[in-house]
């Protein structure tokens, strides 16, 4: 299948500054882009492109004096197999001593994932007797999915996994942070993923499209996709960025006062 993706984001600024955006399709899906992405910046501004420590596409926009808003737009078509997230009930959890060293940063605490907190003992009390591997991760997803209440009106950019656990409410990033933290408490490497996820293969959603957050865990010899928010295999995920948590993968970040003036996201199946 082919999926049309895109965004139209406008940020108001009050002084010369720099704007970082992380909005291009992740290099791991570059071969699936039909043609090329078409990112435009209005007004045209000097932009530096680079890769971060997690191999995400990043860009820094230089915003000079006299510019009051910056508008970012993109359109692209991406090929996708149309297959749902793979399920492997036999995927094994490795002992900490046997994990590839590249996965170790995803077992440690991070900005929004407080592994070294009361969640550590809670995780072992709750999931310690669950079969290690796929079944344990799925049990964590089931628990988070039922414990948190999804509510856009209660979104808060500073909410951590521990705060989400205590408050019992959040949006997709909060579901993801809590599930990641519980996995890490059980010595399972887990990393944060942000990207496009439309309503392909499910009834149309009644709210505006947005970027989504899910996570990946290392089991056996590879990363597997899990999603505590939706808690079911989905079709058409397109990764934009990966990191330890949301602090590593901001969609946009402005160094100074700014206001969000426009935010539209597109992800629809289209005819090839």
Residues paired with 253 in a beta bridge: 20
pLDDT of residue 271: 81
- CB count within 10 Å of CB 46 equals 10
Predicted confidence at residue 207, as pLDDT, reads 76
Q: Where are the alpha helices (DSSP H) in the chain?
A: 118-127, 134-147, 161-167, 172-185
Give span(s): CATH 2.60.40.2250, the chain. 2-82+251-270
Low-confidence residues of the chain: pLDDT under 70: 272
CATH code: domain 2-82+251-270 is: 2.60.40.2250
pLDDT at 205: 79
For 96-234, CATH gives 3.10.620.30
How many Cβ atoms from other residues are within 10 Å of residue 75's Cβ?
Answer: 15
Closest CA to 25 of 249, 221, 184, 239: 239
Beta bridge partners of residue 71, listed in sequence order: 10, 42
> How far apart (Å, rounded) are the C-alpha atoms in residues 209 and 235?
15
215/179 Cα distance (integer angstroms): 8
pLDDT at residue 6, as a whole number: 96
Contact between 207 and 152 (Cβ < 8 Å): yes
The CATH 3.10.620.30 domain(s) of the chain lie at 96-234
Instruction: Say if residues 122 and 202 touch (Cβ distance below 8 Å).
Output: no
Global confidence as pTM: 0.96
pLDDT of residue 198: 92
Q: Are 246 and 164 in contact (CB under 8 A)?
A: no
* Residue 5 pLDDT: 96
Whole-angstrom CA distances from 180 to 64, 161, 256 are 39, 8, 30
Q: Are strands 169-170 and 149-150 parallel, antiparallel or unpaired?
A: parallel
Give pLDDT, residue 106. 98
Q: Is 232 helix (H, G, I), strand (E, B) or coil?
A: coil
């Amino acid at each position: 299948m082919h999926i049309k993706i895109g965004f139209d984001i406008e940020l108001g600024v009050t002084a010369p500054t720099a704007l970082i955006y992380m909005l291009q399709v992740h290099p791991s899906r570059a071969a699936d882009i039909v043609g090329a992405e078409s990112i435009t910046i209005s007004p045209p501004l000097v932009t530096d492109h680079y890769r971060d420590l997690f191999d995400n596409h990043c860009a820094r926009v230089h915003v000079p004096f006299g510019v009051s808003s910056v508008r970012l737009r993109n359109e692209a078509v991406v090929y996708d197999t149309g297959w749902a997230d793979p399920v492997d009930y036999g995927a094994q959890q490795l002992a900490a001593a046997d994990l590839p060293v590249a996965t170790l940063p995803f077992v440690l605490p991070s900005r929004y994932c407080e592994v070294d907190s009361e969640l550590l003992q809670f995780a072992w009390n709750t999931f310690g007797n669950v079969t290690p591997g796929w079944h344990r991760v799925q049990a964590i997803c089931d628990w988070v999915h039922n414990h948190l209440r999804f509510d856009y009106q209660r979104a808060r950019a500073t909410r951590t996994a521990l705060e989400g656990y205590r408050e019992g409410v959040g949006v997709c990033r909060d579901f993801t942070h809590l599930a990641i933290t519980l996995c890490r408490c059980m010595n399972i490497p887990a990393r944060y993923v942000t990207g496009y996820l439309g309503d392909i293969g499910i009834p149309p959603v009644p709210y505006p499209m947005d970027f989504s957050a899910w996570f990946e865990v290392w089991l056996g010899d590879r990363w597997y996709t899990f999603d505590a928010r939706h808690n079911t295999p989905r079709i058409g995920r397109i990764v934009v960025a990966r990191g330890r948590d949301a602090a590593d993968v901001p969609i946009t970040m402005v160094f100074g006062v700014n206001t969000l003036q426009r935010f539209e996201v597109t992800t629809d199946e289209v005819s090839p």
